[in-house]
Structures are given as structure tokens and as C-alpha cells.
A and B are shown apart, each in its own frame.
Chain A
């Protein structure tokens, strides 16, 4: 993973989102992260993207987010969007490799909106 690759992945993601929704949108920041709990992944802060866009083009978004995950070396076990609760505004698209504790929190939930601020595209449930 190089910084050039990260810059290119941000640009690719932004370009594909624009092509997909047919209008401008911004990926204003693409961050790789590691948390103390053991979760790791990437966060793409977006502007100009609405919940409707995700619902209409869900499979295309998921494909794009998985491709970006591969490009930056993140396993796409948990793919979700963060929404400003009560609104159409998408704050960020996220791909996360969950730690055991966070996995058990999310795996115990059901549906696409386990919390008002989260829209789940994809969660790989592990075998018991």
C-alpha cells in the first residue's frame, strides 16, 4: 500500500460514484484506520451523496466499495454507510474488518438499519 495508491483509489472511487449517479459527488477524504479494539479498514467521507442513491444503486456501490477495499488491502467483511440520522445525507462510506467484540455487536443485529446512523450493505456472518 503506497500513498500514490491511496490517492488513486480516492480518485477512482469519486469518479465511479459520479458515473453511477450521473451527477457530481465528492470523496473529500479517504482514510485507512486502525482502532484500539482491533477493528481496521477504510472510511471514505463523502459529500453530495444521498440515501436514495445507495438504495437505488446498492449492488453497484457494494461492488465499488469492495474493489476499493481490495485496492487498499482491506478485507471487506463489513461494508456500511454512515448517515446523519433522520436525513438523506451520507457522511461516509466504510469498509471495516471487525474485531471479535464489534463483530458480536453487529452480528447480533438484523436488518439494514441497526442504528439510525448506519446503513449496512454487507456483513459476512461467521459460522458458529
Chain B
């Protein structure tokens, strides 16, 4: 399938050069700017100044690759509506326009309209605007959006995706490997937290990310939540061809080799390895679970017609019990893999 892959910037110029030298399958690189002006909803490995953005943009363009700036803070604390906030945003976006970035991703409707009214940069509606219905997609298109990253919660709701496709003419983009919980209860609070941590000061000094820990605990206790997560497997991209040919690979906090592995998998539409290798988040579970990606072949046919009421369907639970393996004694010569269900059937050993 011919497709456009949006790929995360590895956070430094040398990494960008290696990335573009190593893969010819990248349509666009995306990166965050400086958190001092507009925040971003995720952790980044680098905080690029305007000079660096200009250098990276020129480099990408010389290689025939587009560059997208991700300014998708889900909460700016209302500063964007103050005179000072407007002036600062306007100054920053003017600089990005002068640099020649190709697109800007924003989550706030106010910024979609500002970009449309005052700049000549196409705006992309972030996945953090949670566009999960044709009505919301129409709203953003009418506001001036040139592209919409659809809420990944509906990645497996083909009826909704098809309705959104019918409702708008703008480009649709799907985030393939976010790996978040389906209908995650922490989603809004967590991204608002990230937006402040990765946004203008004052930044909260937090030792423990409650939302992340809780997300991990839920999946450690129930790995079927990983299967239920609305990722799109590389093998299943073809199923989305009637919706879009534009796919975004998440992973701004990952290193170059991880990004390249994902690009290869999605470019080739095949991956023979642990599904967890491809998931942007949660990273830590790669040391706990092995879910052979190929063991999920064909599951898309169920997901395309599935009930979204998990407790009456049970398909993902059964699939998870069948395919999920767990590592034990990792990092030692005794490292082994066993079926997840083995541990839960053992019961309690009180030493």
C-alpha cells in the first residue's frame, strides 16, 4: 500500500541525519519546539530553538522530507487568551512561518482558527483534540483545519471512521502505535499534566507520574488491556486504505533504533517480533510481556465488526490469555518466558 508515514524526530540533529539516511520511507518528520512558548502534550528528547528548527527544516527539505511542528498542548492555563499570550503565540508562529515548516499540529480550537486567519501554515488538529465523531471533524474543518489526527480511541470503530471520512474533505491521519488504554480514564488529566510539564513555566516538579504508574499497574494486572488498546498493527494498514493513506508513528521519547524499527515495520506492513517493540507507550512493559505480533494475525476481522462492550464480548480477553507470555528473571542467565496464565493459575505462595 502506498502511504505517507509521519515519523518522530529523534531529538538531535545527528539523529535526524541518521534517520533520514537509514530510511527512504519517511514522508514527514514531526517535532516539538521550545516549551517556553507553546507546550506539547508529550515528552520529547530535545527542545529545539528557532535556530535549530530552521536548520532541521532546511535539512529535511533538502532530503525531500516535510517537517511538522507539534504544538499540541492540551492546556495552556488560559494564557493563550491574554494579550501577552496572543502576542507571544503570534510571534512564535510568525517565526515558524518564516522558517518554512510545512504544517503545525495544535490541540486548541483557538489556535486552529488563528493559524487559518493569520498565517500561511496548514494546521493539523492533534489527536489531543479528541476528534471521535463526524460532527467534531466538521467543526474543525470549518474552523480551517487542513488535516485531522483522529482520536485513536476510534481506530477500530470503522463505522465512525467511515462517517468522519464522509463528513469532511480534509486529510485524515491515524496514529498507529500510541498503545494507550482504550477509553483511558486518565487521558485528559494526563495530557494536561504533560502539557504543563512540557510547556511554559511555571512547570510542576513532580517525582512520580501517578497516571503512568496507574496505567502500568492496570496492564500488569490485566494484559488484555494491551490487546484492547486501539493500536493498528503494521499488517492491518491495508484495512484502513479506504479511510486514509496517512499514518503517524508515535515515539518522541524513543531513540533512533527504536524509531527505525517502527518505520521499517509500518513501511513493510509486517513485523515478526514482540508487539510491545512497536508500542510508543507504555515503554516499561517491554520487560514484562511478550505478545508475538504475528499471533494477532486476523484479529482485525473481529475488531472490524466487534462489540465495544468488552464484558459481553470477551474476544480480546480470550486472545490475550492465549498469546500473552511473561518474562521472568530477566537480565540473568535463568531468564525465561512463560504463558501469562501460568502465573495467575499458580496461586499464592506465602514463602
Q: A residues engaging B (CB < 8 A)? A: 4, 7-8, 10-11, 14-16, 18-26, 28, 47-50, 57, 60, 63-64, 84, 87, 89, 91
Which of B4-12, B235-243, B323-331 has 4 or more CB atoms under 8 Å from chain A? B323-331
List 8 other contacts, CB 8 Å, given A23-B220, A87-B214: A18-B328, A18-B343, A19-B346, A22-B343, A22-B344, A28-B287, A48-B217, A64-B351
Q: Write out the residue numbers on chain A whose beta carbons fall within 8 Å of the beta carbon of B335.
A: 11
The answer on a CB contact under 8 Å between B328 and A15 is yes
Q: Write out the residue numbers on chain B whose beta carbons fall within 8 Å of the beta carbon of A24.
A: 220-221, 288, 326, 340, 343
B188 to chain A, nearest CB (A): 18
In the docked arrangement, what's the CA distance between A63 and B350, Å?
11
Restricting to B318-347, which residues have a CB under 8 Å from any CB of A?
326, 328-332, 334-335, 340, 343-344, 346-347
Does B349 have its Cβ within 8 Å of any Cβ on chain A? yes
**Least CB separation from B209: chain A residue:** A84
The answer on a CB contact under 8 Å between A87 and B210 is yes
- A-B pair count, CB < 8 Å, reads 81
Q: Write out the residue numbers on chain A whose beta carbons fall within 8 Å of the beta carbon of B51.
A: none
Q: Write out the residue numbers on chain B whose beta carbons fall within 8 Å of the beta carbon of A48.
A: 216-217, 220-221
The answer on a CB contact under 8 Å between B351 and A89 is no
In the docked arrangement, what's the CA distance between A46 and B284, Å?
11
A84 to chain B, nearest CB (A): 5
Q: B208-228, CB under 8 A of A: which get 1 and which 0?
A: 101001101100110000000
Q: Write out the residue numbers on chain A whose beta carbons fall within 8 Å of the beta carbon of B210.
A: 84, 87, 89
Restricting to B291-337, which residues have a CB under 8 Å from any CB of A?
326, 328-332, 334-335
A56 to chain B, nearest CB (A): 10
Known: A10-B331, A14-B328, A50-B217. Contact between A26 and B287, CB under 8 A?
Answer: yes
The answer on a CB contact under 8 Å between A89 and B347 is no
Please provide the 4 A-B residue pairs with the shortest distance between their CB atoms, ordered closest to farther: A48-B220, A22-B348, A11-B329, A19-B349
Known: A23-B344, A28-B284. Contact between A47 and B349, CB under 8 A?
Answer: no
In the docked arrangement, what's the CA distance between A23 and B208, Å?
23
Q: Write out the residue numbers on chain B whose beta carbons fall within 8 Å of the beta carbon of A84.
A: 208, 210, 213
The answer on a CB contact under 8 Å between B213 and A23 is no
Known: A22-B348, A24-B343, A89-B217. Contact between A11 and B208, CB under 8 A?
Answer: no
